């Protein structure tokens, strides 16, 4: 749970969406474009269980997703 909270603190810097997440097929998606995120924050997010979805450019996690 701590890693998820830390990840959302990073995401918070890059979005003001009212509903910034979606979940499907056991994957949590965060609607933040990787191209807008600093290299340092991308590395932090990867260490916290998020990677970039190649199809959308947003972040995804199969560690925290459940549908």
**Residues 18-38: pLDDT tens digits?**
999 999 889 999 999 999 999
Q: Closest by alpha carbon to 23, among 31, 35, 33?
A: 31
pLDDT at 51: 96
What residue ranges do the domains of the chain occupy? 2-61
**Residues 53-66: pLDDT tens digits?**
999 999 999 998 77
pLDDT at 5: 97
pLDDT at 34: 97
**Residues 37-55: pLDDT tens digits?**
999 999 999 999 999 999 9
Average pLDDT value for the chain = 94
Q: How far apart are CA 48 and CA 45, in angstroms?
A: 5
Per the document, the length of the chain is 67
């Amino acid at each position: 749970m701590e890693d998820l909270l830390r990840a959302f603190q990073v995401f918070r810097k890059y979005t003001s969406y009212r509903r910034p997440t979606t979940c499907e097929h056991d994957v949590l998606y965060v609607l933040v474009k990787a191209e807008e995120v600093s290299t340092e924050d991308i590395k932090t997010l990867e260490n916290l269980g998020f990677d970039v979805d190649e199809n959308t450019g947003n972040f995804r996690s199969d560690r925290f997703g459940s549908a």
